[in-house]
């Protein structure tokens, strides 16, 4: 059972570089989301999607872009990385009722 798969697990970027964090789920979930986790701040919602072709901003969307061309994939793009984006990123998905989120194992990103 693959569940929610995130790649890469670790990444180091220089300020100004761009990259895409990949997220894929094989549970046919309509809802997908991206969170960032920082010490003492819990998890904060970056962007979310309620289905293919539909995305919306969460609590901390600035500096990040998303798209949802298929039900399975929900990539997160950093167009110009900044040190403030150093964090652990989690992708999560759920069925339409949103009662249980399934999380990926996370991507630890460092921006120098």
Partner 1 sequence: AQSVTQLGSHVSVSEGALVLLRCNYSSSVPPYLFWYVQYPNQGLQLLLKYTSAATLVKGINGFEAEFKKSETSFHLTKPSAHMSDAAEYFCAVRHTGANSKLTFGKGITLSVRP
Return the bridge partners of 17, or none. none
* Among 56, 69, 70, 112, interactor with partner 1 by CB under 8 A: 56
- In angstroms, the Cα distances linking 35 to 68, 81, 91, 98, 107 are 16, 16, 6, 15, 11
Among 2, 28, 40, 62, binds partner 1 (CB under 8 A): 40
> What is the footprint of partner 1 within residues 60-89 (CB under 8 A)?
none
Q: Given candidates 11, 20, 58, 72, which one binds partner 1 under the rule CB under 8 A?
A: 58
User: In whole angstroms, what is the distance from residue 20 CA to residue 66 CA?
Assistant: 9
Q: Can you tell me which of 50, 63, 65, 72 binds partner 1, judged by CB under 8 A? A: 50
C-beta of residue 38 within 8 angstroms of C-beta of residue 87: yes
- Give the C-alpha separation, 56 to 50, whole Å: 8
- Segment contacting partner 1 by CB under 8 A, of 10-18, 20-28, 56-64, 69-77: 56-64
The residues that touch partner 1, with contacts defined as CB under 8 A, are 4, 33, 35, 40-45, 48, 50, 56, 58-59, 90, 92, 98-101, 103-106
């Amino acid at each position: 059972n693959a569940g929610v798969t995130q790649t890469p697990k670790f990444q180091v970027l220089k300020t100004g570089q761009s990259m895409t964090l990949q997220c894929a789920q094989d549970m046919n979930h309509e809802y997908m989301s991206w969170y960032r986790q920082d010490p003492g701040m819990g998890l904060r919602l970056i962007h979310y999607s309620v289905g293919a072709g539909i995305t919306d901003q969460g609590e901390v969307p600035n500096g990040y872009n998303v798209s949802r061309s298929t039900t399975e994939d929900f990539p997160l793009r950093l167009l110009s990385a900044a040190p403030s984006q150093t964090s652990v990123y989690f992708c999560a998905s759920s069925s339409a009722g949103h009662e249980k989120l399934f999380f990926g194992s996370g991507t630890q990103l460092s921006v120098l």
